[in-house]
Amino acid sequence: MIKIEVLVGSVRQNRFCDKPANYLCGELKKEENVEAELVDLKEWDLPFFNEPITPVASKGEYKNPLVKKFAEKISEADGFVIVTPEYNHGYPGVLKNALDWIYYPWNQKPVGFVSYGGAGGARSVEQLRQVVIALHMHPIQPSITIPLEILRAFQQGKAADLPLSELFRPLREGRDLIHPFFSELVKLTTILKNAQGEPSSKG
């Protein structure tokens, strides 16, 4: 069994982000041998990073009790999905802050990206790929770009009464975007989890 946490990357009022995050978390739970949990940064409400030493130097000790709990929550996961909008051609600051606060709980874990926006949120994803490498994470190649018409339907209030399965039906129809994404994420997460604790080839 592997555990995947789905991070909700926007905390603003009336956000769209929690819709795809909730939908995909529900879909992940249907996968064999996968436990999935939503990690909503709006609920965590982390302060801006302000520690005198870096998370690497603090060796996994977090003074702030909320950050300590957040680190414990992230440590539970074997892999991640990050759902992100695009704000001014980048990903939201709240997401960077969450990534920066801790270090070891992200290490050696796969991550897949889900994005949306005028250009599909592609610029956010490309930036995130660079950042997660610094955290020793393993970004997977496939990503899910939410079709613009779904975001527009939400923004125009046309999606309010639709169940999530209906709103996100286009992700499964035609070219299935979810299957290759889940398949790669689950495969890599399982491989890395199983490899943990194996002796290094260098001895």
Ligand X SMILES: Cc1cc2nc3c(=O)[nH]c(=O)nc-3n(C[C@H](O)[C@H](O)[C@H](O)COP(=O)(O)O)c2cc1C
Q: Contact positions toward ligand X, by CB under 6 A? A: 10, 12, 15-17, 85-89, 117-119
Q: Which residues, including other chains, have CB under 8 Å from residue 201's CB and lie 6 or more apart?
A: none
What's the rounded Cα separation, in Å, for the pair 62 and 69?
9
How far apart are CB 125 and ligand X at their closest, in Å?
12
Q: Which residue lies nearer to ligand X by CB, 93 or 163?
A: 93
Q: Which residue lies nearer to ligand X by CB, 103 or 113?
A: 113
What's the rounded Cα separation, in Å, for the pair 22 and 2?
18
How far apart are CB 181 and ligand X at their closest, in Å?
19
How far apart are CB 127 and ligand X at their closest, in Å?
12
Beta strand 144-145 with 138-139: parallel, antiparallel or unpaired? unpaired
Q: Which single residue brings its beta carbon nearest to ligand X?
A: 117
User: How many CB atoms neighbour CB 203 within 10 A?
Assistant: 4
Q: Which residue lies nearer to ligand X by CB, 119 or 191?
A: 119
How far apart are CB 170 and ligand X at their closest, in Å?
17
Q: Which residue lies nearer to ligand X by CB, 45 or 72?
A: 45
Q: Which residue lies nearer to ligand X by CB, 15 or 68?
A: 15
How far apart are CB 46 and ligand X at their closest, in Å?
17
Cα angle for residues 67, 73, 79 (degrees, 5° grid): 125
**What would the two tokens of residue 1 be?**
């069994």
What's the rounded Cα separation, in Å, for the pair 135 and 84?
18
